[in-house]
Amino acid sequence: MPIYMDYHHFPGVTVEDVKQGHMADKQTQSKYGVKYHQFWINQDAGTIFCLIEGPNAEACEKVHKEAHGNVACNIVEVEMGLINAFMGKNHKVDHGIVYYNNGNLDTGFRFILIVDILAKTNQANTDNMSRFKVPVVSKNQVFKSLEKHKGTEVKNITDDSIIAVFSNTTDAYRCALNIQNLLSERDTIEFRMGLAEGQPITHSDGFFKDAIDFTKQLALMANNGEIVLSKNFSKLLTEKGDESRSGIKVVTAAQQKFIENFFDYTEKNLSNETFNVANISHDLGVSRPQLYRKITALTGRSPILFIRDIKMNKALSLIKENKHSISEIAYLLGYSNPSYFTKNFKSKYGVSPSKMLVAS
């Protein structure tokens, strides 16, 4: 049967509350062909995540509704492989509640590291495109560091960045620093990293979708060789002091809200030919000088250059999907002139998009 995870938000929830709810679920679940397996509780955040086996989402919801009336905020079907990758295996479980081996509650929250590596190239023939697409040596260094610091790679089907998940901030942070030190020695690549926390299910569809999307945004904001941390990740970090060192940037809560709005607006308008800084300023409710200061402070780039980088990053993903022509990709990204798109792509990556497409 399919596997689901649901999400509840109950400020002030206790372990005893969940135990009582689980007992009620167990008395009702067989009626609907459902089995509630495990629960992750975050008492500080007031969240509960339930791992469920059932014929469909509706049947799972009916159990909760009949047993105690506490209907989930959202429920998502999840592959077991993803559950194991993000949540781990061989849990310590008591009355369905998941604990770490040290006896602390496993909150279900995880820490996401995104590593985006790109080989530098000015090569003009397709024989060298494989080096551009997959910097194998650098990626192997990342994988070894993940293994050393108890990180788990998660398959990325949308682009070439590396996604890794950790169960605590210390391992995630030490891994990022180790990768930064290793990759900084290689002058044939550029790399950027993002580090953030996240919960498995939110109001969005997908498993850890919001956490991964936001961490990718942090990585895109980073300058070459830089690690960008979310404010919450920085707060949870037990090893303090290093966040102010060169090559590390922490996004404040206000900056995080702004950048989420900025990316959301940009994503919705990428294909709009009239999309420009004036539109963003007007629709986000900031003046053009304010927009310039905010984006420059966050990314080290002007709004125009940062938008270009967002578009080129999306272009790279679309090219590697190999589903569209260069002209189609240009139009999808708001370029009415494919030649101008090609010029921007080559300026960013040192190679024409057509050669990348041939090599994909």
Tens digits of residue pLDDT in 224-252: 999 999 999 998 886 655 555 778 999 99
- 222 pLDDT above the threshold of 80: yes
The one-letter amino acid code at 209 reads K
Q: Do 188 and 264 sit in the same domain of this protein? A: no
Q: Do 120 and 84 sit in the same domain of this protein? A: no
For the chain, what is the mean pLDDT?
89
Q: Which domain holds residue 72?
A: 3-99
- 122 or 89: which carries more pLDDT confidence? 89
Does residue 247 lie within any of the structural domains? Answer: yes
Does residue 105 lie within any of the structural domains? Answer: no
Question: What share of the chain in percent tops pLDDT 90?
Answer: 69
pLDDT of residue 127: 46
pLDDT in tens, 321-357: 888 999 999 999 999 999 999 999 988 887 888 887 7
Does residue 240 lie within any of the structural domains? Answer: yes
In the chain, DSSP assigns E strands to 3-9, 35-42, 47-53, 74-77, 92-94, 97-99, 110-119, 152-154, 162-166, 189-198, 227-229, 248-250
The burial of 276, by beta-carbon neighbours within 10 Å (0-12 exposed, 13-18 middle, 19 or more buried), is given as middle
pLDDT of residue 357: 75
Q: Do 245 and 323 sit in the same domain of this protein? A: no
Q: Do 222 and 266 sit in the same domain of this protein? A: no
Q: Do 118 and 240 sit in the same domain of this protein? A: yes
Q: How far apart are CA 98 and CA 115, in angstroms?
A: 29
Q: Do 176 and 232 sit in the same domain of this protein? A: yes
Q: At 125, which CATH number?
A: 3.30.70.1230
- Domain end among 99, 125, 144: 99
- 183 pLDDT above the threshold of 90: yes
- Domain end among 99, 128, 147: 99
pLDDT in tens, 114-165: 999 887 655 544 445 555 555 788 899 999 999 999 999 998 877 788 999 9
Does residue 300 lie within any of the structural domains? Answer: yes
Q: How confident is the model at residue 93 (pLDDT cuts 50, 70, 90)?
A: very high
Greatest alpha-carbon pair distance for the chain in Å reads: 67
What is the total count of domains within the chain? 3
Q: Do 133 and 247 sit in the same domain of this protein? A: yes
**Region of poorest pLDDT, from 37-41, 132-136, 182-186, 265-269:** 132-136
Question: What share of the chain in percent tops pLDDT 70?
Answer: 93
Q: How far apart are CA 106 and CA 98, in angstroms?
A: 6
Q: Do 219 and 323 sit in the same domain of this protein? A: no
pLDDT of residue 125: 47
pLDDT in tens, 54-69: 999 999 999 999 989 8
Q: At 269, which CATH number?
A: 1.10.10.60
Does residue 104 lie within any of the structural domains? Answer: no
pLDDT of residue 126: 45
Does residue 95 lie within any of the structural domains? Answer: yes
Does residue 359 lie within any of the structural domains? Answer: yes
Question: Tokens 């047993």 sit at which residue?
Answer: 67
pLDDT of residue 346: 86
Q: At 92, which CATH number?
A: 3.30.70.3090
pLDDT of residue 121: 57
Asked if residues 83 and 234 have their Cβ atoms less than 8 Å apart, the reply is no
- Domain end among 99, 131, 152: 99
The burial of 7, by beta-carbon neighbours within 10 Å (0-12 exposed, 13-18 middle, 19 or more buried), is given as buried
Q: Do 247 and 124 sit in the same domain of this protein? A: yes
Q: Do 118 and 235 sit in the same domain of this protein? A: yes
Closest by Cα among 270, 276, 274, 231 to 249: 231
The one-letter amino acid code at 313 reads N
Q: Do 265 and 172 sit in the same domain of this protein? A: no
Q: Do 295 and 246 sit in the same domain of this protein? A: no
pLDDT of residue 240: 55
Asked if residues 10 and 48 have their Cβ atoms less than 8 Å apart, the reply is yes
